[in-house]
Amino acid sequence: MPTPHEEPYAGTEVDLTQEDGPQLELQGLSADSYDPNPKREQVRGTIAWFLLGLLTMTILFAFIAVAFQWTAYDNIKDMLGILLPPIVGLVGSAMGFYFGRSTD
């Protein structure tokens, strides 16, 4: 047993010239076993459907509010003028990204 002042592997030679280093094997796992694509596609689809639902709900709410005369038409028109451009931009970006990448 080495003393506290001696190096524990003082007399051991280490050959670092081998190209194949030590192969570590984890229990039941390999480098090929993880594939992020299914989860990535699921998240892309969820985001795209959520944004499409948001756009649909905004438009439906506007039509229902006008139909039941909850507020004046000018208020709904102003609300849609504020809400629709960013929502349509997000939906267009998400749909383009989702369908553009799903053909890989």
Distance CA(5)–CA(3), nearest Å, equals 5
Average pLDDT of the chain, as a whole number: 77
Distance CA(58)–CA(42), nearest Å, equals 24
Per the CB < 8 A criterion, the answer to whether 98 and 50 are in contact is no
Q: How far is CA 65 from the centre of its chain?
A: 35
Percent above pLDDT 70 for the chain: 66
The answer for 12, left when phi > 0, alpha when psi is -120 to 50, beta otherwise, is: beta
pLDDT of residue 57: 92
Domain positions in the chain are 37-101
List pLDDT tens digits, range 42-71: 888 888 888 889 889 989 998 888 888 888
